[in-house]
Amino acid sequence: MSRRKSQNSVKLILQSKSINEGFARAAVAAFVAQLDPTIGEMADLKTAVSEAVTNCIVHAYGGESGEIYISCEYDASRKVTVRIKDKGVGIKNVSEARRPLFTTAPEAERSGMGFTIMESFCDKVSVKSKIGKGTAVTLVKQLKHIK
């Protein structure tokens, strides 16, 4: 994860079932709540996590069951890093997948806005993917300092 020294971290492994998307959101939110983020910061992180987990559920395993790996950490500067990883099919062209409205599942009425939403709510989003090996999305959100 980050190169700075982590103050705290957590790891989860979930089945790639849509019912677990809400759990992933809640688990990350509960962990980050230790930092007393603003309501807006918490909503931003929860939304970004939902999008990343939904991408794993919908695209990574082609309808088959698989695992979603989530790790979350924060450092002394209140920088939160969340990594959502799968071992699914991978993304053929990450640059194309990150374009607004691009979707590989138009028949499922997907908007193709997942990465755009993640980028809107986080300070940094990185995506690494290998065909047949899976995808890792890293979300970084710098929380405001408490006065």
Active site residues: 51, 55, 110
Q: Are 49 and 139 in contact (CB under 8 A)?
A: yes
The rounded distance, in Å, linking the Cα atoms of 147 and 128 is: 36
Nearest to 133 by CA among 89, 82, 72, 84: 89
Q: Are 137 and 52 in contact (CB under 8 A)?
A: yes
DSSP-assigned beta bridge partners for residue 129 = 135
The rounded distance, in Å, linking the Cα atoms of 4 and 46 is: 23
Let me know if 59 is exposed, middle or buried by CB neighbors in 10 A (0-12, 13-18, 19+): buried
